Amino acid sequence: MGVVRIAIKLRDYQLELIDGVYNAMRKNNKRIMVVSPAGSGKTVTMSEIARRATNKKNRVLFVVHRTEIVQQVRQTFIANDVDMNYCEIGMIQTITNKVKKDKVKKPTTILIDEAHHSLSKSYTNVLDAFPNAVVLGFTATPTKLSNKGFTDIFEDLILGKTVQWLIDNERLAPFKYYSKNLMNDNKLKHKSTGDFSNESISLALEPQIYGDVIDNYKKFANDKKTIIYTHNVESSKEVAEKFNDNGYNALQVDGKTPKQQRELAMELFREGKVNILVNAELYGEGVDVPDCECVILLRPTESLTLFIQQTMRAMRYQPNKQAIIIDHVGNYVRHGLPNTEHDWLEHFNGSNNKSDSKNSIPIKECPECFGVVESAYTICPYCGSEFPKEEIQELTVDETAELEEVTEEMITLNLKAPEDCSSMKELADLGKSLGYKPGWSYIQGKRLGLIK
């Protein structure tokens, strides 16, 4: 008697995404991008699409951008009863080489994990080889540093639930976010409209680490399982040493750490034998450690993708879990909070305005695999492509800076212009947050027609 496997039961919002995909296909769209937040179970959702396809003897090709993810995906697919006789899973470089040698069986459906990488030549070569296949790309962040959209590849965009909806419905963990209140920084100067001037924001966001990392860990997240993101290898080693000197069990890894050593570090972290993992340019995408409770940001970034992937490492759902995010570099000013809503359709369509990254650690995208890495890298840690050498900017440290909880309301008030206010109460709250006298909100109200 054969072994009977029970397929994974999908959640309602995952089934809703799949319905959206099929509805788009009924409109003759064959290349579809699907957006769903980090931690929402995109791999499980894709496995259900693969299961339904292979049950009909349709062939599926699943493409990932990092070799470490292949086995994780394979296990999920097998658990969901995907017929692996009709499904091939592989890293993009492996699949590209097999396509060149005509060793990939013609797929009916191509699934792309972390589809924001899909603009690279290696991906387009695979897609061009199978022009009749349905292409479904899944990502939490349909955005590029260059602001180039994805309409050259995809015809339609399916939007999943928001991060806040997933928190409210116990699918992601709620979070507390701590950082320096740069919105009240004495370097910030107001324009006549009440908003901050671009020049003063740039000055306030000069690359700097605010607060002592050990003191703030003890204060906000003591003994919680934590991943720390640093801005370069030397910094990651120094931070790990500092934690170990203070009696914590910390390990350091970076892009040049041997693969076996990296895997061991993650295994020890998963098992709780190591509580703190300090890294440079690792553990962004594709890392699933549900009981990770805290992330610490020690590197500024202009990349919204990098920010979301890093902050949400701690937000995988577990009952009664409270995620802690400690931002020592003020990234929230650039990107908001993990639950800040973004106009993904605008990102998907793209624009010609390039991001201003002068106030962050220099980062670049690999032209081959589109992985986001520090400019200090000469070899891409994802695919091995060579970069010309660039210098990395050093960070100053202000260990005396006080960190405090940052909320969406604080950010909204401080970044809002008078024109965005719909009532005198909102104007009054805005004026108060900016330190203006009550007369300011009255004048703005008259100007905007809120006072007759």
Query: Would 7 be classed as within a structural domain?
Result: no
428 and 389 part of one domain: no
Query: Would 410 be classed as within a structural domain?
Result: no
260 and 195 part of one domain: yes
3-class SS at 41? coil
46 and 121 part of one domain: yes
Find the domain containing 319 and state its range: 175-405
Task: With cut-offs at 50, 70 and 90, classify the pLDDT of residue 195.
Answer: very low
Query: Would 225 be classed as within a structural domain?
Result: yes
Query: Nearest CA to 307 among 263, 361, 270?
Result: 361
What DSSP line would sit under 165-185, residue for residue? Answer: HHHHTTSB--EEEEE--GGG-
- Domain boundary pick from 100, 128, 161: 161
Cβ proximity of 98 and 317 under 8 Å: no
Give pLDDT, residue 412: 64
Helices 408-415 & 424-433 angle (0-180, nearest 10)? 90
3-class SS at 215? helix
Query: Would 168 be classed as within a structural domain?
Result: no
286 and 371 part of one domain: yes
Q: How far is CA 102 from CA 96, 98, 127, in A?
A: 10, 6, 14
Query: Nearest CA to 125 among 305, 369, 450, 330?
Result: 369
Cβ proximity of 80 and 52 under 8 Å: no
441 and 349 part of one domain: no
224 and 127 part of one domain: no
Q: For residue 208, what is the domain's CATH number?
A: 3.40.50.300
List of residues 6+ apart from 287 with CB closer than 8 A:
266, 313
User: Is the pLDDT reported for residue 197 higher than 90?
Assistant: no
Q: What is the mean pLDDT of residues 19-41?
A: 95
Query: Would 333 be classed as within a structural domain?
Result: yes
Lowest-pLDDT choice from 38-52, 153-167, 336-350, 432-446: 432-446
Query: Would 425 be classed as within a structural domain?
Result: yes
Give pLDDT, residue 194: 46
Give me the sign of the Cα torsion angle 71, 77, 80, 86: negative
Give tens-digit pLDDT for 436-450. Answer: 666 777 777 777 778
Give tens-digit pLDDT for 279-334. Answer: 886 765 556 678 899 999 998 877 888 899 899 999 999 999 999 999 998 888 77
141 and 222 part of one domain: no
Query: Would 271 be classed as within a structural domain?
Result: yes
Q: Which amino acid is at 231?
A: H
Cα separation, 444 vs 223, whole angstroms = 49
Give pLDDT, residue 386: 67
17 and 107 part of one domain: yes
124 and 218 part of one domain: no
Q: Which residue has better confidence, 198 or 436?
A: 436
Give pLDDT, residue 361: 43
User: Is the pLDDT reported for residue 374 higher than 60?
Assistant: no
Give pLDDT, residue 163: 96
Helices 12-26 & 42-55 angle (0-180, nearest 10)? 50
115 and 193 part of one domain: no
Q: What is the mean pLDDT of residues 346-360?
A: 60
Give tens-digit pLDDT for 107-127. Answer: 999 999 999 988 888 899 999
32 and 149 part of one domain: yes
Number of domains the chain contains:
3
Cα separation, 127 vs 110, whole angstroms = 8
245 and 342 part of one domain: yes
Query: Would 379 be classed as within a structural domain?
Result: yes
- % residues pLDDT > 90 (the chain): 49
User: Is the pLDDT reported for residue 359 higher than 50?
Assistant: no
